[in-house]
Amino acid sequence: MFRNLGELVLLFTATVRALPRVWRERRKVGEQLFDIGNASLFMACLLSLFIGGVLSLQVGPVLVERGLGSALGGLVALSMCKELAPVMMSVLIAGRIGSAMAAELGSMRVYQEIDALRTLNINPIHYLVLPRVVAIAVALPCLVIFSNLVGWLGGALVAAHNDRIAVPWTAFFTNLQQQVEFGDIANGLIKSFVFAVLVGVVSCHQGLSTLGGPRGIGRSVTKAVVNSFVLILIMDYVLTRLLLPFDDGWTV
């Protein structure tokens, strides 16, 4: 485990050191961004709509019973932007994109494509890892903003149309506007950026360290997804704790 962590840190450091080359690799970053958007946008939309809806459904009746129905918009919105959107979108990206990255790089490793790159004096970190990590780090925060908007919409729809809640559309969004500050959105974006780098580096590391044949690729994919999930949840706690003092400090 410690060896894996050490290799992860080394890969992360090498990727950061390669950042000045990112403009040169912009075409590959663009291709990766397109792939990420293509593979995850519809799923993100569906997932966020239902997460927002479930939040309203779980919390709405309880708040309405206590005469606090007007606070529903803020509660759903803060839950989405500070916690659920960053974590759920990161999990989605780890499952859909991270696994694909680990499989692709694993297959390239097994079939000697990465060795071939090295013999052509092409650094696999520049050619393969950098564009993927940068693309995830750009795409995930964007996806979180999108997820926030769709989640809020889902929450408002359920709040307005569920008989036990019946919080009007305008009341929901008025409270949302009063409660959500720029800092709350930034909180989620910072988290998602860190999760994105984690998912990218973990997935690329697993892919690049694949051994054996097709079974090895399968193992790498599983490890990439499981390790990403575990690290996302651990870092979620750490980041929430670190960002707590800034909660009241940011205003629009």
Partner 1 sequence: MAASLTTTGIPVSVRGLRKSFGGHPVLKGLDLEVRAGEIFALMGPSGSGKSVFLRHLIGLEKPDEGDIQVAGEPISSEGIGDRFRLAMVFQSGGLLNSLTVAENVGLYLSEHRLKPAADIEKIVLEKLALVELGPEDAGKYPSELSGGMKKRVAIARALVIEPQLILFDEPTSELDPLVALTIGREILNLNQRIGATTVVVTHDRDLAFGIADRIAFLLEGEIVALGTPDEIRAHPHPLLQRFLKAEFR
Which residues of this protein are in contact with partner 1, per CB under 8 A? 107-108, 111-113, 115-122, 127
Residue 197's identity, in one-letter code, is V
Q: How far from chain centre, in Å, is Cα 55?
A: 19
CB closer to partner 1, 118 vs 164: 118
User: From the CB of 113, what's the least distance to partner 1, in Å?
Assistant: 5
Q: Buried b vs exposed e over 21-58: b needs ≥16 C-beta within 10 Å? A: beeebeebbeebbebbbeebeeebbebbbebbbbbbbe
CB closer to partner 1, 117 vs 243: 117
| CA 179 vs CA 7, 70, 110, 172: distances in Å | 43, 11, 52, 11
Question: Would you say 190 and 243 are in contact if contact means Cβ atoms under 8 Å apart?
Answer: yes
User: From the CB of 121, what's the least distance to partner 1, in Å?
Assistant: 4
CB closer to partner 1, 87 vs 100: 100
User: From the CB of 127, what's the least distance to partner 1, in Å?
Assistant: 7
Residue 23 is given by DSSP the state T
CB closer to partner 1, 119 vs 251: 119
CB closer to partner 1, 38 vs 119: 119
User: Which of 110, 130, 121, 122 lies closest to 16, judged by CA?
Assistant: 130
User: From the CB of 120, what's the least distance to partner 1, in Å?
Assistant: 5
Q: At 181, is the secondary structure helix, strand, or coil?
A: coil
Q: Which residues contact 221 (CB under 8 A, 6 or more apart)?
A: 99, 102, 103, 106, 206
User: From the CB of 132, what's the least distance to partner 1, in Å?
Assistant: 13
CB closer to partner 1, 99 vs 227: 99
Q: Angle at the Cα of 171 (from 59 to 147), degrees rounded to 5?
A: 60
User: From the CB of 41, what's the least distance to partner 1, in Å?
Assistant: 22
Query: What kind and span of H or E run contains 107?
Result: helix 99-110
Separation between Cα atoms, residue 37 and residue 174, nearest integer Å: 31
CB closer to partner 1, 127 vs 250: 127
User: From the CB of 111, what's the least distance to partner 1, in Å?
Assistant: 6
